[in-house]
Chains A and B, each alone.
Chain A
Amino acid sequence: MVELTNLSAFATGRRPASAAGVAPRVEVRGLTKHFGSVVAVDDLTFSVEPGMVTGFLGPNGAGKTTTFRMLLGLVSPTSGRALVNGVAYRDLPDPTRTVGAVLEASGFHPARTARNHLRSVAAVAGIDFARVDEVLELVGLGADAKRTVGGYSLGMRQRLELARALLGDPEVLILDEPANGLDPQGIAWIRGFLRWFASSGRVVFVSSHLLAEAAQTVDDVVILANGRLVGHGPLQQLLQGVTTTVRVRTPDAARLMSVLQARGPEAGRVRLEGRDTVVADGTKPEVVGPVIAENRIVVYEMTSTGESLEQLFFQMTEGGQMGGHPIGQTFGSVGAEGYTPLPSQEGSNEGESS
């Protein structure tokens, strides 16, 4: 089993962030991309600040990956600009030392070893080969460095991508679904790593569809739907605007409904679900709880949902319908646990254990 190493190993060799005295920064201005008649990204403007982890959220097909690729000079914008430290990626004097990026669908030659893959990248950037072994150790691939990537599991490939991104000890990390294929241990490690990385004054911009996971990691969020910006700001601040839903299972449902309705708008929209569950949308447990106590109503169960990233996400993306499947169903099960292994995880353990 591969183990991810402690961050201290990485920290010894790192340069201080913003070596030039200027804080690293990512920004997009009026960024738009059309693929034929499809508008993938529509007039996006936002900036990502250093010193915190910024989440980039949105349903599949919202335009996150296209935005990332425009930031990295791989896709040309139809209009607008995507800037890193004030310049386009293609104009960065030393891109590998400025930005580290993990992208989906970035490839490896299957017959090349992990170490040689990274060496070919290090050679372009003029990075010492010793650094290759250092980052491989960091992501827990030290023992597998001489294996060809063709035999790697999805999770191992994801680690290798992360190692590549870290080669230049960059000021900015741009990560597209970095948790894909990682086991829970790996996901937890990534979370810690991103926090540590950001705390050193660097930029972390990370996309994720695992909302519960993202909620534990990010400080700021940029939320995208159908290529448009629908929300941007500190997560806590955005969450304050989120309405919650309180569910109460009680044998006295009819009475609870009437007393809640009597309470007025503060108690939200009240309805009955099944025979014994009262649901109040747009309120808080702090409102419903005292009402129950005052009226001495027996309660079997009381839960509240909301003030969560999921709730925020649903509200901002209007349910985030994608391919006929409500996003809520996808994320609902994830929210209950700390993290739920992705389906692709099944295959990933084979390679790692060998």
Chain B
Amino acid sequence: MIRLLRAEVLKLRTIWSTWMILIITMVLTGGLGVVVGLAPHRHAVEALLYPARGTSRWFDLVLSTMTVSVDLALVLGIICVTGEYRHKTVTSMLLCEPKRGKMVVAKLLSSAGGGVAVGVAGGVTGLVLGFGLVAGGFGDSGRMLTEYRHVFPGVLAACVLYGIYGLGLGALLKNQVVALVVGLGVIAVVEPILDGVVPAVGRWLPGQAAEALESVAASANSRGGGGIFSNTTHLITWWEGALVLLAYGVVLAVAGTLTTLRADVT
């Protein structure tokens, strides 16, 4: 298993997609953070709703842009397995390790590792952003770091679990484009609709589960409200969110191993 893991890490390290995902994570986190934190208000209502710059709630809002990492961890997880089929490298992989279940376990672990890398990329960017804003005269570093400590662990955990979830999705669907469309489509389109119509079901879906996990800050902070524009009270608890996400990843990966990945490689 150590050998397989070593190979998986080497493979992730030696394709540009991985580095692109890390760069996109950093650019999006930093860019969105600056926009969210410093963009001029368009009208009075917006100004009223927005927390004052330099406050704890403002830092919370700005640093919550680190959550974009989670979706990118999903993409990395999907690519990790679907890329093997897309480029037909799965053949040489299976010639070395014919037991497909072992290959999937190694990929689950490496996707989790990929999630850590994406989460850290977003986290480091968030930290740089935070200190940059402090240096720019907004708030103080103590307040910023307090908010950072509330947001980052949930984001990192969600990245790891989304990496696994993406891997499971990719293992089941095999086709890269389909897996990406389904993975991101569920979060961006299906979930908001379902959550609006049947919130009792919607809150158990991956996106909402991740949001629950990311809202550790809200629970820890005992502010109840979480983000400024989002109401987190309807979410499941953070640990339920973690378990649900893990279950999604593992169940999908097992299903993928038993169905798609067992199929003939022609």
Contact = CB atoms under 8 A, between A and B. Distances in A.
Interface residues of B, number: 27
A89 interface: yes
Q: Name, among A108, A120, A121, the residue most crowded by chain B CB atoms within 10 Å (CB to CB).
A: A120
B41 interface: no
Contacts of B88: 105-107
Interface string A110-126: 11110011011101111
Interface stretch (B95-103, B123-131, B198-206): B95-103
B260 to A, nearest CB: 14
A321 B193 CA distance: 58
23 contacts: A69-B264, A72-B95, A72-B98, A74-B91, A74-B95, A74-B265, A95-B95, A95-B97, A95-B98, A96-B95, A101-B95, A105-B266, A106-B88, A106-B92, A108-B89, A109-B14, A109-B87, A120-B11, A124-B3, A124-B93, A124-B97, A125-B3, A126-B3
A112 B91 contact: no
Interface string B68-100: 000000000000000100011111111111110
B4 interface: yes
A107 B89 contact: yes
Interface of B: 3-4, 6-7, 10-11, 14-17, 83, 87-99, 264-266
Contacts, number: 86
Contacts of B15: 109, 111-112
A76 interface: yes
Contacts of A120: 7, 10-11, 14
Given A116-B10, A120-B7, A90 B92 contact: no
B16 A75 contact: no
Given A74-B264, A76-B264, A116-B14, A123 B94 contact: no
A73 B11 contact: no
Contacts of A101: 95
Q: Name, among A89, A121, A124, the residue most crowded by chain B CB atoms within 10 Å (CB to CB).
A: A124
Decide if the interface of chain B is mainly helix, strand, loop or mixed. helix
Q: Name, among A99, A101, A110, A123, the residue most crowded by chain B CB atoms within 10 Å (CB to CB).
A: A123
B81 to A, nearest CB: 13
Nearest to A94: B96
Q: Name, among A74, A105, A113, the residue most crowded by chain B CB atoms within 10 Å (CB to CB).
A: A74
A103 interface: yes
A124 B3 CA distance: 5
Interface in A48-73: 66, 69, 72-73
Nearest to A77: B264
A133 B264 CA distance: 32
Contacts of B4: 124
Interface in A70-94: 72-76, 89-90, 92
A164 interface: yes
Contacts of B3: 123-126
B110 to A, nearest CB: 12
Nearest to B262: A76
A112 B14 contact: yes
Contacts of A123: 3, 6-7, 10
Contacts of B97: 95, 124
A90 B95 CA distance: 9
A123 B14 CA distance: 13
B59 to A, nearest CB: 38
Given A120-B11, A121-B93, 16 more contacts: A72-B98, A73-B94, A95-B98, A99-B95, A103-B91, A105-B266, A106-B88, A107-B87, A107-B91, A108-B89, A109-B11, A111-B15, A117-B89, A120-B14, A125-B96, A126-B3
B94 A74 contact: yes
A111 B12 CA distance: 11
Contacts of A111: 15-17
Contacts of A124: 3-4, 7, 93, 96-97
A164 B83 contact: no
Contact of A121 (B87, B96, B265): B96
Contact of B83 (A92, A99, A109, A113): A109
Nearest to B5: A123
Contacts of B11: 109, 112, 120
A119 B17 CA distance: 19
Nearest to A103: B91
Contact of B265 (A69, A116, A119): A69
A116 B16 CA distance: 13
Contacts of B87: 107-110
Nearest to A75: B264
A232 to B, nearest CB: 25
B96 A96 contact: yes
B91 to A, nearest CB: 4
A101 B266 CA distance: 14
B96 A95 contact: yes
B6 A121 contact: no
Contact of A75 (B14, B17, B265): B265
Contacts of A76: 264
Contacts of B96: 95-96, 121, 124-125
Contacts of A103: 91
Nearest to B4: A124
A110 B83 CA distance: 11
B162 to A, nearest CB: 23
B98 A89 contact: yes
A66 B265 CA distance: 10
A72 B4 CA distance: 19
